[in-house]
Structure 1
Amino acid sequence: MLDANIAAQLKTYLQNLKRPVELVASLDDGNKSQEMRELLQEIAEMSDKVSFSDAENDARKPSFRVNQPNGQEKIRFAGIPMGHEFTSLVLALLHTGGHPMKTEPEVIEQIKNLEGEYHFETYISLSCQNCPEVVQALNLMSVINPNISHTMIDGALYQEEVEAKQIMAVPTVYLNGQQFGQGRMTLPEIIGKLDTGAIKREADKISQKAPFDVLIVGGGPAGASASIYASRKGIRTGIVAERFGGQVMDTLAIENFISIKETEGPKLVAALEEHVKSYDIDVMHLQRAAKLSKNGQMVEVELESGAKLSSKAVIIATGARWRELGVPGESEYRGHGVAYCPHCDGPLFKGKHVAVIGGGNSGVEAAIDLAGIVGHVTLIEYADQLKADAVLQKRLHSLSNVTVIIGAQTTEITGADGKVNGLVYRDRATEESHVVDVAGVFVQIGLIPNTDWLKGTIELSKYGEIEIDSHGATSLPGVFAAGDVTTIPYKQIIMAMGEGARAALGAFDYLIRNDFEDDVKKDAAA
């Protein structure tokens, strides 16, 4: 079932097993059960430490568990973990088999100390690039703590469960039968939701840090690039970010990053993070900035957690977020038919009628991708013509299950029984209103800069973007900015990286032209 290269790599990985691993399946006579049997048998034949049996009779068929001999159920896959989830299976095998985890000792200890019984279930789609991080985090926790277990459920395979629970976005996580979370979550985020004292402890720890020379707020391509360029100058550098990678984590196909023919967002983010880790950079995760101020020559950043940081120079690289329609029904049905990531949530609408709002590159690409999964796509564009590249428009118009409506303003998203059932749009030429029956609405109308916390502090454009000069400097001395959060005209990954480097060099030039000795001593004494 596995191609030769993947099989060879997996066989090499399995040589790292320190203890036996059981693959125990629950199968029926269906095609998917046969595929699962073939996969598990192939894996078992690769190592004498892996065994396979199909003696179980779980309610979900096909499914299988990964555990040590005679051990309780810890990790279960209700679906065939291929595509993005194949790595989740490999890690489950290695960790269950005693291979060391690439996780900080203090995090492992925190997981061990969690009290209570936790049974997690995660509904995923195999095309979702955000799902594996959640699956792998919960699997890892299940290996560490005997009171934690986790089941991955392929929503496309268990459609009845998905419809019964009205799951219309992945990943969706249930804990002990109740919804726990939706969307991408990192291991620290999950632990933080379970360990309620973790936020305060981390805030206290952050507040005790000595002043930085350069502090970067934001962990996307611009922030990562800025941190590397700053650190290479031999100065004390830190990054504080809500999530490393930013919008790139939600990007599936990347084909215009020079020197790399094609890659995926999560892969690029992983490479960025490894590059950052190779330098002496203090990275503070899961922290959102709340306030920026000046204290003498020093710049202070207050976080939503209550922590405070001080730095000689600050580079703001907080990026942007999906722009919302702002119409009735959007917030009510978010996660229940209203979605922003076609790659993640598209498979949940297999065979159904969906709408895409937006005729730029993102919207047209979304419509093309969805057309291969859903029954029909209606693309709605406000302007009188599509704005996407000509090659994308040509591909779009070649698809028989796509309808394009231009000059249309979406005015409402409707629903019933807790999920989307349609949308209303106004024809801008005739002023007539029309209803389109759809099960899902994918919003693709651009981005909004994450600058709400900066209003009244530094100069912003009428669109909320940070105004910068040729060195990346803002209107506040000592504060620089880079990437999608600024007024740069082209929001591209490669542009953001270049802007991050420019801001770091601009900040370094600012540092060497100013004397901070007295301010740093005062700040340290405080």
Structure 2
Amino acid sequence: MLEANLKQQLGTYLQNIVNPIEITVSTNSSAKSQELLELAREITELKSDKITLTVDENASGRAPQMAIAPKGEAARVRFAGIPMGHEFTSLVLALLQAGGHPSKAAQDTIEQIKSLDAELNFEVYISLSCHNCPDVVQAVNLMAVLNPKITATMIDGALFQDEVNNRNIMAVPSVYLNGELFGQGRMTLAEIVNKVDTGAAKKQAAALAEKAPYDMLVVGGGPAGAAAAIYAARKGIRTGVVAERFGGQVADTMAIENFISMKATDGPKLVAGLEQHVLDYDVDLMKTQKAVRLEKKEFIEVELENGAILKSKSVVLATGARWREMNVPGEQEYRGKGVAYCPHCDGPLFKGKKTAVIGGGNSGIEAAIDLAGIVEHVTVLEFSDTLRADDVLVKKAKSLPNVTIIKNAMTTEVMGDGQRVIGLKYTDRLTDESHLVDVAGIFVQIGLVPNSEFLKDTLQLTNRGEIVINAHGETSIPGVFAAGDVTTTPYKQIIISMGSGATAALGAFDYLIRN
């Protein structure tokens, strides 16, 4: 089951197990059950003095399923499916944590989890190709390990199609709590804990409001924000970072092959490195906090969604951008029910079905190529009369027999049956004729929108919502600087955002020493 190198790495990790654990595998007559049982046996053999294996044949519940628990305790962490691919790390962490190896989560978050006083049963539907899913699986698994009132189950949607269909799941990760939909998409541990801890926002607001003014406050935790924070902290000044989600768009990016000095990496790995680099310095990092207002008074004030107000002598805005939506009827109604924005994550849920990709740039054509290997057919709709994607990608897409490219196509409506997407309408811009395309999934890949709504009427923005900056990163308000994808910087690239963040921090520091 496991390749030699992977088995050797796993054996090294399992040496960190302190206390005995028990693995219980529930099987049926399926081939996947035998695969999971083989995986469990290989794990047990690697650390037989600390791991025991129990097999439940002809299980009445979900099968195949692996349950992991400290020996003598009822299992609270389960994997319904074979946790390989992106979920292999989730499996390794579950084994280590059940065996007493400490988590790297913040101590205040750990204490918050332990104090939760409610029965919480999490079910997380995933696809093994989803790079957003492991964060959610690992978060709820840790919660289950730390609190005996919490259980967590990872469910591979490809193996449990009946459940996926019955619950109308068309996007992953989809999280259910006590049988009800809790959330979809990437969520951090802190976000999940704060959502179930009803008093968390009030307590956090009170704690944040007591913080002393900063010399430089960075709003945003993507590459631009991280670079700004590092450059500021290296100057020895009081530096804070407030971010709704550390990593921003990069956390949702799978393959990164143009980051100089790295031949190839992925978004989650790069984000982890960025966060660790920021924390190597004396930086006050405040995650899961959204800025809603900026105003210059004696200090520059940044108000957060929970009501807290942070003060600083200078501010660097690095709030980034998000995927652009089509803004057509039906899009919001069927978001997560056939309308998707991540082909890597949600593509496997449309295996054997007809899909559409909106957008003919690199992202759109790459999505079409990826989906073509999974789905029955892909229709690419491009508004313009030309495709903006690189020629090599266009040639590849055109060579695929199950990819159709339609140009001069203006998407006008998402069609559904009340439960899920069944098609879309588009208008031919040359003939003004309306057409209906039967599809089960629509992947929107039409560019980015700057996260600057809270700055409207506060500082100078372009008509596209980008913050206007000069060569030093200065905005129209003295002491307020900006960097990255939220600004007028012409090229939206990770490495450019990092440079932009460094420029803004240096510009802000120069402002501080002159004022």
TM over 0.5: yes
User: 2:493: which partner in 1?
Assistant: 492
Looking at structure 2, the residues matched to 79 and 124 of structure 1 have their Cα atoms a distance apart, in angstroms, of 10
Instruction: Spell out the pairing of 1:267-278 with structure 2 (5 A cutoff).
Output: 267-278=269-280
- TM-superposed CA distance for 1:55, in Å, is 2.2
* Counterpart AA for 1:458: L
- TM-superposed CA distance for 1:106, in Å, is 2.1
Instruction: Spell out the pairing of 1:340-351 with structure 2 (5 A cutoff).
Output: 340-351=341-352
Instruction: Spell out the pairing of 1:216-255 with structure 2 (5 A cutoff).
Output: 216-255=218-257
User: 2:15: which partner in 1?
Assistant: 15
User: 2:44: which partner in 1?
Assistant: 44
User: 1:172: which partner in 2?
Assistant: 174
Looking at structure 2, the residues matched to 478 and 361 of structure 1 have their Cα atoms a distance apart, in angstroms, of 37
User: 2:353: which partner in 1?
Assistant: 352
- 1:51-84 per-residue CA deviation (whole Å, 9 max, x = no partner) reads 2221252421111100122311201100111111
User: 1:3: which partner in 2?
Assistant: 3
What is the DSSP-based 3-state SS (H/G/I as helix, E as strand, rest coil) of the residue aligned with 2:46?
A: coil
Instruction: Spell out the pairing of 1:80-229 with structure 2 (5 A cutoff).
Output: 80-229=82-231
Count matched residues.
513
* Counterpart AA for 1:20: P
Looking at structure 1, the residues matched to 341 and 223 of structure 2 have their Cα atoms a distance apart, in angstroms, of 21
- 1:241-285 per-residue CA deviation (whole Å, 9 max, x = no partner) reads 000000111111111111111111111111111111111100001
In the alignment, structure 1 residue 397 sits paired with structure 2 residue 398 = yes
Structure 1: runs of 5 or more not aligned: 515-526
Looking at structure 1, the residues matched to 276 and 237 of structure 2 have their Cα atoms a distance apart, in angstroms, of 20
What is the DSSP-based 3-state SS (H/G/I as helix, E as strand, rest coil) of the residue aligned with 1:101?
A: coil
- 1:175-203 per-residue CA deviation (whole Å, 9 max, x = no partner) reads 11111111111111111111111111111
Looking at structure 1, the residues matched to 252 and 373 of structure 2 have their Cα atoms a distance apart, in angstroms, of 20
Looking at structure 1, the residues matched to 20 and 167 of structure 2 have their Cα atoms a distance apart, in angstroms, of 36
**Percent identity among equivalent residues?**
65
Looking at structure 1, the residues matched to 8 and 389 of structure 2 have their Cα atoms a distance apart, in angstroms, of 42
- TM-superposed CA distance for 1:173, in Å, is 0.6
User: 1:363: which partner in 2?
Assistant: 364
- 1:450-493 per-residue CA deviation (whole Å, 9 max, x = no partner) reads 11000111101111100000100000000000000000110000
User: 2:76: which partner in 1?
Assistant: 74
Instruction: Spell out the pairing of 1:308-323 with structure 2 (5 A cutoff).
Output: 308-323=309-324
Looking at structure 1, the residues matched to 265 and 52 of structure 2 have their Cα atoms a distance apart, in angstroms, of 35
* Counterpart AA for 2:4: A
Looking at structure 2, the residues matched to 100 and 59 of structure 1 have their Cα atoms a distance apart, in angstroms, of 31
* Counterpart AA for 2:166: A
What is the DSSP-based 3-state SS (H/G/I as helix, E as strand, rest coil) of the residue aligned with 1:54?
A: strand
What is the DSSP-based 3-state SS (H/G/I as helix, E as strand, rest coil) of the residue aligned with 2:258?
A: coil
What is the DSSP-based 3-state SS (H/G/I as helix, E as strand, rest coil) of the residue aligned with 1:45?
A: helix
Looking at structure 1, the residues matched to 105 and 258 of structure 2 have their Cα atoms a distance apart, in angstroms, of 33
Looking at structure 2, the residues matched to 319 and 452 of structure 1 have their Cα atoms a distance apart, in angstroms, of 12
Looking at structure 1, the residues matched to 465 and 418 of structure 2 have their Cα atoms a distance apart, in angstroms, of 37
Instruction: Spell out the pairing of 1:339-488 with structure 2 (5 A cutoff).
Output: 339-488=340-489
Normalising by structure 2, report the TM-score: 0.98
Q: Say which is worse superposed, 310-319 or 67-76, in terms of deviation.
A: 67-76
* Counterpart AA for 2:157: G
Looking at structure 2, the residues matched to 104 and 465 of structure 1 have their Cα atoms a distance apart, in angstroms, of 34
Q: Say which is worse superposed, 1-10 or 421-430, in terms of deviation.
A: 1-10
- 1:95-122 per-residue CA deviation (whole Å, 9 max, x = no partner) reads 0001111122222221111112111100
Looking at structure 2, the residues matched to 504 and 5 of structure 1 have their Cα atoms a distance apart, in angstroms, of 43
* Counterpart AA for 2:287: H
What is the DSSP-based 3-state SS (H/G/I as helix, E as strand, rest coil) of the residue aligned with 2:293?
A: strand
User: 2:296: which partner in 1?
Assistant: 294
- TM-superposed CA distance for 1:29, in Å, is 2.4
Looking at structure 1, the residues matched to 82 and 268 of structure 2 have their Cα atoms a distance apart, in angstroms, of 21
User: 1:522: which partner in 2?
Assistant: none
Normalising by structure 1, report the TM-score: 0.96
- TM-superposed CA distance for 1:387, in Å, is 0.5
* Counterpart AA for 2:313: K
Looking at structure 2, the residues matched to 368 and 510 of structure 1 have their Cα atoms a distance apart, in angstroms, of 48
Looking at structure 1, the residues matched to 145 and 258 of structure 2 have their Cα atoms a distance apart, in angstroms, of 39
Q: Say which is worse superposed, 134-143 or 44-53, in terms of deviation.
A: 44-53
User: 2:28: which partner in 1?
Assistant: 28
User: 1:521: which partner in 2?
Assistant: none
* Counterpart AA for 2:228: A
Looking at structure 2, the residues matched to 323 and 76 of structure 1 have their Cα atoms a distance apart, in angstroms, of 36
Looking at structure 2, the residues matched to 21 and 264 of structure 1 have their Cα atoms a distance apart, in angstroms, of 32
Looking at structure 2, the residues matched to 5 and 508 of structure 1 have their Cα atoms a distance apart, in angstroms, of 48
* Counterpart AA for 2:306: S
User: 1:306: which partner in 2?
Assistant: 307
Looking at structure 2, the residues matched to 104 and 274 of structure 1 have their Cα atoms a distance apart, in angstroms, of 13
* Counterpart AA for 1:33: S
Looking at structure 2, the residues matched to 187 and 58 of structure 1 have their Cα atoms a distance apart, in angstroms, of 32
Looking at structure 2, the residues matched to 69 and 283 of structure 1 have their Cα atoms a distance apart, in angstroms, of 37
- 1:386-444 per-residue CA deviation (whole Å, 9 max, x = no partner) reads 10011111111111110100011000000004100000000111111110000010001
* Counterpart AA for 2:309: K
Looking at structure 2, the residues matched to 509 and 104 of structure 1 have their Cα atoms a distance apart, in angstroms, of 34
* Counterpart AA for 1:97: G
Looking at structure 1, the residues matched to 155 and 192 of structure 2 have their Cα atoms a distance apart, in angstroms, of 18
* Counterpart AA for 2:8: A
Looking at structure 2, the residues matched to 70 and 349 of structure 1 have their Cα atoms a distance apart, in angstroms, of 41
Looking at structure 2, the residues matched to 374 and 53 of structure 1 have their Cα atoms a distance apart, in angstroms, of 38
- TM-superposed CA distance for 1:5, in Å, is 1.7
Looking at structure 1, the residues matched to 360 and 82 of structure 2 have their Cα atoms a distance apart, in angstroms, of 35
- TM-superposed CA distance for 1:345, in Å, is 0.6
